[in-house]
Structure 1
Amino acid sequence: MKGIVFNLLEDVITQSHGADAWMDLVDAAGVSGIYTSLGSYPDEEVNALVITAADRLGSTPDAVLQSFGRAAMPRLADRYSEFFVGHDSTRSFVLSVNDIIHPEVRKLYSGAGCPHFHFRDDEDGRLLVGYQSPRGLCKLAHGFIEGASDHFGETAEIEHLACMHHGAPSCTLAVRWS
């Protein structure tokens, strides 16, 4: 996992719960806590942080990932505003992930293992978002879509139709914006 993800998590935790909360979380999770944005770190470290945060918040890892994704999006928009240029809706932005955003991420962060998304419209007018990644962070993707929707002043209704965590070969999110 690239260090930028850890940096975003630290930003979200410290803004929501204070600077001491991040160090307490790092200590409780038993991870190093020192992450440079360009560095690569074991996935187990972000998993330990998420599980520990969920335990401390009386929540679930899925809820923590989703909340983190939503809260991280404004920070991504500030740091990488060029990714948002030319988009007037969340749908347009989400559809650009594979072709514009992830190739740029791979240029900026050598070795980044980005998930792959598949898109198609369903008969109800929703965008079906297929998510594939060995990391299985579909709830983080869900939160990123919510955060992007907030950025564009839209509301996203997201239904998780299929999930790798429940035996499906990939996850499928059905998204409708209003």
Structure 2
Amino acid sequence: MKGVIFNIVEEVVVSKLGPIAWDEMLTVTGLPGVYTSLGSYPDAELFQLVAACADMTATEEPELLHMIGEESIPLLFERYSKFFHDAPNARAFILGLNTIIHPEVQKLYSGAACPHFNFVEAENTISMGYNSPRKLCHLAQGFILGLAKHYDEIIEVHQPTCMHDGAAMCHIKLVWK
């Protein structure tokens, strides 16, 4: 996993829980915590950090990943505002993930392994298929909620099927209100 993800997680944790929380997470996991944005690190390190934070805060990991994803959007906007300016709304941003956003991410961060999404559109809904060996569908849901907030939209997010429950892929349904 690219270090930029670790950097974002650290920034969210520090902003929400304080720098001592991040240091405690590193102590509990035994991880060095030095992540450069262009570096690549084992996925397991992110999962260890999330588990440590969940234990520290008595929060379920899916809920914690939602929060991290949602709180990440302003940070991502600061770093990559062009992606946001090129999309007039959350729907356009989301539908551009496979064709615009992720190819640009792969140019910026060589070796980045981005998830793949399948989309089925209707008037006020998008049904997304999420497929990634990392199974970070809860983080993806948080990103969606953060995008809704960024674009001042209301999106209900439901996940009727999940890889964590044995499904071949996650199905995430987005409904614009």
Q: Which AA in structure 2 matches 1:69?
A: G
Question: Using the alignment, how far apart are the partners of 1:106 and 1:86 within structure 2?
Answer: 18
Counterpart of 1:143 in structure 2 is: 142
Counterpart of 1:170 in structure 2 is: 169
Counterpart of 2:82 in structure 1 is: 82
1:38-57 to 2 correspondences below 5 Å: 38-57=38-57
| Alignment check: 8 A CA contact 2:7 2:37 kept | yes
1:1-178 to 2 correspondences below 5 Å: 1-121=1-121, 125-178=124-177
Question: Using the alignment, how far apart are the partners of 2:83 and 2:121 within structure 1?
Answer: 23
The number of equivalent residue pairs is 177
Question: Using the alignment, how far apart are the partners of 1:13 and 1:169 within structure 2?
Answer: 31
After superposition, give the CA deviation of every residue in 1:100-159 in whole Å (9 maximum; x if it has no partner).
11001001111101000010025x842101100000000000000000111000121001
Q: Which AA in structure 2 matches 1:147?
A: G
Question: Using the alignment, how far apart are the partners of 2:94 and 2:42 within structure 1?
Answer: 27
SS in 2 for 1:35: coil
Consecutive unaligned residues of structure 2, counting only runs of 5 or more, are: none
Question: Using the alignment, how far apart are the partners of 1:12 and 1:32 within structure 2?
Answer: 18
Q: Which AA in structure 1 matches 2:109?
A: Y
Question: Using the alignment, how far apart are the partners of 2:66 and 2:30 within structure 1?
Answer: 22
| Alignment check: 8 A CA contact 2:124 2:176 kept | no
Q: Which AA in structure 1 matches 2:143?
A: F
Q: Which AA in structure 1 matches 2:151?
A: F
Using the TM superposition, give the Cα deviation of residue 29 of structure 1 relative to its aligned residue in structure 2, in angstroms: 1.8
SS in 2 for 1:39: coil
Q: Which AA in structure 2 matches 1:18?
A: G
Question: Using the alignment, how far apart are the partners of 1:16 and 1:59 within structure 2?
Answer: 13
Q: TM-score, normalised by structure 1?
A: 0.96
Using the TM superposition, give the Cα deviation of residue 5 of structure 1 relative to its aligned residue in structure 2, in angstroms: 0.5
Identity in percent = 45
